[in-house]
Every structure is written in structure tokens, then in C-alpha cells.
Amino acid sequence: THPAAQETHPAAQETHPAAQETHPAAQETHPSLPPAGTLTHILHLAPMGAILPHVDNLEASGRVILGVSLGAERTLRLRRKFGDGEQGTEGEGWDVRLGSGSVYIQRDSIRYGYEHSILPFDDPSSIWDGEKLESGHRISIMIRDVPPKPDL
């Protein structure tokens, strides 16, 4: 698989105690900072890149994922994924045009029950308003809540 077609996700990890101690004070003076308990990472997608269908790591991410798209437009594809014993049509879903500055949220049934992918700019499905998407670099700012710790 070409490196541009891979997306990496943060591994499940503990927040450093110093960050937990200083974050509330920083939140008071800078209310636009993300609240404690969130993970943020930036993803660069090369002009010919794509992201293969997947559900984000269940151990590393909580129930809400927010994405901010910057740069070249791309098509976000959401397709239903069924587990054992579930009924329905595998693959049903929809495509979403992600323009620069767009924001999307995956949570609850969309977060867990649908695989998401980013199509290449030249995919036959990446035609919007009769126009093909143009090649270009794309940046995604991904913000996820931290999953709850299991009771011991």
C-alpha cells in the first residue's frame, strides 16, 4: 500500500500527569483550547492520496470524532458495516463533499457502524455539480474524545 493511502491513529495512551494538572488553568485563560480528554492530530493527504475504508481504533478514540478539512476538496465515503447477526445491506451509505473549511462529526451509530474513507480526487464518484475535483494537498485536523477507562 502506498504511504499516502494510509491513515494513522493515536494509540491508546495515558495523558501525562503534568498535562492534566496544567490544562484546567490554561482552559480558564484560553477558553478556545480543546477540553481535557481530547486528542488532536493533523493528517496530510498528498495530491494523489486516498484513505482506505476503516472504523477508527476503538481503544484509542472515544465516541466522537470531529474533522476539519483544509486545502483540496475530497469525497468522504461512509458505508455501513454489519457485525455478526445484524441485518441489512452491507455497503449502504452515502458520499459527502468535503470542501476547504468544512467540518464533519462522526458519533454514535455513524462512528461505530460505518466505515469511512477519503476517495482519490480522480475517483469516478468524485464528481460534484458536474465537475471533477481538482488535485491538491489536503490537511485534516482531527479531534477525538478519549475513551473512558474501564473500571478495574
Cell numbers for 34: 480543546
* pLDDT at residue number 135: 96
Task: Look at residue 100 in the predicted model and tell me its pLDDT.
Answer: 97
Alpha helices in 30-72 (DSSP H): none
- Sign of the CA dihedral running 86, 87, 90, 94: negative
Which of these CATH numbers, 2.60.120.590, 2.60.40.1120, 3.40.190.10, 2.60.40.10, describes 38-145? Answer: 2.60.120.590
* Contact (CB, 8 A) for 137 and 121: no
Rounded CA-CA distance 19/100 in Å is 31
Low-confidence spans in the chain with pLDDT less than 50: 1-13, 15-22
Query: What's residue 148's pLDDT?
Result: 74
How far apart CA 75 and CA 13 sit, in angstroms, is 31
∠ CA 123-125-126, nearest 5°, is 70
